[in-house]
Amino acid sequence: MIKQVPNGASSQHKERLQQKVNNAAQTFLAKHALLDDRNQFLAKLNDEGRARRSTKPAILGEAKAMRYEDLEKARAERTVKEPKKAEKEAKKAAKGPKNVASGTAEAEEATAG
């Protein structure tokens, strides 16, 4: 690798320089491998945290000690309420574009007139 040693030094000096380059390369590769492993580990942790944060927690009741029967009752009540809530949101969403559509029609009439 080292072809020319400055000042015409001996072959021992050339060998020492070669060994120094080899050691530096090994150190670099070892550090790079450690950093790569660390990055993979942190990326895995980040993915787990992202999935945990993206899920919406289901609140079953107030902060109190609950028996299993109470939990089942709260779940049943929530399943009854969810379709009603979704129906309300659908009505609200259907109402929103209608108002926007009438506003755009008025704007078109104003620009045409």
Cβ count near 70 (within 10 Å): 13
pTM of the model: 0.37
Q: Tokens 């787990």 belong to which residue?
A: 48
Phi-psi region at 102: left, alpha or beta (left = phi > 0; alpha = psi -120 to 50): alpha
Q: Is residue 4 a part of any domain in this protein? A: no
Q: Is residue 97 a part of any domain in this protein? A: yes
Q: Is residue 21 a part of any domain in this protein? A: yes
Q: Is residue 62 a part of any domain in this protein? A: no
Number of domains in the chain: 2
For the stretch 48-88, pLDDT in tens is 877 777 777 777 666 777 888 988 998 999 888 888 888 88
